[in-house]
Amino acid sequence: YKEGTSWKRRFWNNLRTNLIIILASSLLLMEGYVCVIMAMPLFILITIVAFISAYIWNTYGKGSPKSYILPAIMILASFEGTTPEFSFNRYNAVTYTQTVNLDAATIKERIQQPIKFKGNRHWLLSVFPMPVHVDTVKLKEGEIRKYDFIYHRWFITNTKVGSVEVKFREIGENRIKTEITDTSYISGYMKLHGTEFNLTPLNEHQTQVSLTVYFDRTLDPIWYYGPLERFAVQKGIKYFINEVLAEKSGENI
Q: What is the pLDDT of residues 180-220, one digit of tens each?
A: 999 999 999 999 999 999 999 999 999 999 999 999 999 99
5-17 pLDDT, tens digit each? 677 787 888 788 8
> Would you say residue 171 has pLDDT above 90?
yes
- The CATH H-level superfamily of 86-246 is START domain (3.30.530.20)
Structure confidence at residue 214 (pLDDT): 99
Residue extents of the structural domains in the chain: 7-78, 86-246
Task: Please state whether 96 falls in left (phi above 0), alpha (psi between -120 and 50) or beta.
Answer: beta
CB atoms within 10 A of CB 126: 10
15-66 pLDDT, tens digit each? 888 788 877 777 776 677 888 888 888 888 888 888 888 888 877 776 677 7
Q: Give the DSSP letter string of 44-107.
A: HHHHHHHHHHHHHHHHH-TTSTHHHHHHHHHHHHTTTTSSGGG----EEEEEEEEEESS-HHHH
Whole-angstrom CA distances from 106 to 7, 101, 134, 148 are 62, 10, 20, 26
The span from the CA of 177 to the CA of 166, in Å, is: 10
Structure confidence at residue 236 (pLDDT): 97
197 class by beta-carbon count within 10 Å (0-12 exposed, 13-18 middle, 19+ buried): buried
b vs e for 69-103, b when ≥16 Cβ sit within 10 Å of the residue's Cβ? Answer: ebeeeeeeeeeebeeeeeeeebebebebebebebb
DSSP β-bridge partners for residue 133: 148
16 CB-near residues (< 8 Å, 6+ apart)? none
Q: Please report which confidence band the pLDDT of residue 251 belongs to, taking 50, 70 and 90 as the band edges.
A: low
pTM: 0.85
Q: What are phi and psi of 206, to 5 degrees?
A: -135, 140
Task: Give all strands (DSSP E) within the chain, no chain letters.
Answer: 91-100, 133-134, 144-152, 159-171, 175-182, 190-201, 207-217
128 class by beta-carbon count within 10 Å (0-12 exposed, 13-18 middle, 19+ buried): middle
162 class by beta-carbon count within 10 Å (0-12 exposed, 13-18 middle, 19+ buried): middle
